[in-house]
Amino acid sequence: MTDSEKTAQQVRMCAACPKMCRHVCPTFFAWRSDSPTPHGRALLLHHDNLGLRQLDERAVEVIYQCLECSHCLTWCLPEIDIATIVEDARRILVSQDRFPKGLETIRSSVLSNHNPFCEPHEKRVAKIRFKKTKSADVIYFTGCTAAYREHGIANASIEALKEFGFNVSIPDDEWCCGSPLLRTGFTSEALEQARHNVEILNEMSGETILTTCPGCYRVLTQDYPVNDLRIEKPVMHLSQFLAKHIDKVPKGNLAGGVTFHDPCHLGRHCGVYEEPRLVIERITGESVKEMERSRDNAMCCGNGAGFRTLFSSQAKKIGGERVRQAALTGSRYLITACPFCRNLLASEAGETLEVLDLPELVMTVLRKR
Ligand code: SF4
Ligand code: SF4
């Protein structure tokens, strides 16, 4: 059976399913409609495959209303991977020039500025405090969000790593990892970014490459190798690196209670669940107060796969719901391990909770000592 025959079989099965997953789909939550659900998307693709109804403008919109959070996969007994099916469909739509035009800004900004935020490339490290070193233990691949929108995460990461005795360098000419383009169907443009990053990372000295962005982490460890692009050093998410060196992380304390939001790209996409919790518990001296939906059942924050750019009010609605779920734990701190999640959750939290990324939490505790 070819790949496209297998996909056709899967969308046929999903189109006829009693929808075991629908109740967890964040876009069903946002719209309360049957179209933006895993089953709704599969039905559209199934009808397109049968030639019953081609993907019209509304259908294209529904395909792009998926966050690719993979939460449906947790609940799907036949294990149908709607996020991957959606991404494949997006690649075809892009090849036909039928993608939502709201994504054009991201595409052209990554190509000309090497970031999706329309920020000048030469300002990429302008807000990051670091000293250039010839030899480094770790290379920090900052990612666009920490560089341009959440530089507190980049600075806290560098400070924490130094505090624990590691020499850190950051690339002189890092480009977008390609995640926003890969997730929205612009593969060839993403691979242009990827090839550059692989080249510069392979030339740098350092034992390990660290990311704080799970989107970067997934792309560097999964999407690059699938596309025959090999980074010749181990790549780790900062949470994994700190967990591996947990003896260097001091036992601290922080009153008020902490809960943890599992980023989709770190948890469901890469299987990293325990490491951030280990670091949080060590540095705060508190057990994580788990939300009802956590680990592989964690609700998406609402920020991913081009969704916030195209559907910002629904992204805020989903983020606001995730904050509400966190507040139910009675915690003062909502910790995540993703600049993207931190950015949206913090914008929705108001005074309810203090939203921090993992390195920001570490530095908050260390500064109080
Ligand atoms: S993703 Fe799985 S559980 Fe959800 S409707 Fe499709 S087949 Fe059913
Ligand atoms: S990947 Fe997420 S947003 Fe997309 S259909 Fe599945 S649960 Fe819904």
Write the CATH number for 257: 3.40.50
Beta strands 354-357 and 168-169 are unpaired
Q: At what angle do helices 38-50 and 82-95 cross, to 10 degrees?
A: 50
User: What is the value of pTM for the model shown?
Assistant: 0.96
> Which ligand has the shortest distance to the CA of 84?
2
- Model confidence at 305: pLDDT above 90: no
The structure tokens listed for 212 are 């704080």
Is pLDDT of 83 > 90? yes
Residue 219 DSSP class: I
Quote the tokens at residue 140.
Answer: 């920090």
| Amino acid at position 271, single letter | G
Q: Please give the tally of structural domains in the chain.
A: 3
Q: Is residue 201 part of a domain?
A: yes
Does residue 105 lie in a domain region?
no
16: CATH: 1.10.1060
Q: Are residues 36 and 9 in the same domain?
A: yes
Together in a domain, 286 and 358: yes
The set of protein residues with a Cβ atom below 6 angstroms from ligand 1 is 13-14, 17, 19-21, 38-39, 42, 72, 75-76, 78, 80, 82
Please report how the helices 312-327 and 339-349 are oriented relative to each other, as an axis angle in degrees rounded to 10: 80
State if residue 69 touches ligand 2 by the CB under 6 angstroms criterion. Answer: yes
Q: What local confidence, expressed as pLDDT, does residue 351 receive?
A: 86
89 and 29 in a common domain: yes
Within a domain: residue 149? Answer: yes
Interatomic CA distance for residues 266 and 269, integer angstroms: 6
Which bound ligand lies closest to the C-alpha atom of 43? 1
Residues 276 and 359 both lie in one domain = yes
Tell me, using a 6 A CB cutoff, whether residue 304 lines ligand 2. no
Tell me whether residue 194 is in a domain: yes
Q: Is residue 76 part of a domain?
A: yes
Domain extent at residue 264: 251-368
Cα(239) to ligand 1 centroid in Å equals 32
Q: In the structure, what pLDDT confidence band is assigned to residue 176 with cuts at 50, 70 and 90?
A: very high
Ranges of beta strands (E only) in 5-64 are none
Cα radius of gyration rounded to whole Å, the chain: 20
- Give the pLDDT confidence score for residue 362 in this predicted structure: 98
Q: Is 111 exposed, middle or buried (0-12, 13-18, 19+ CB in 10 A)?
A: middle
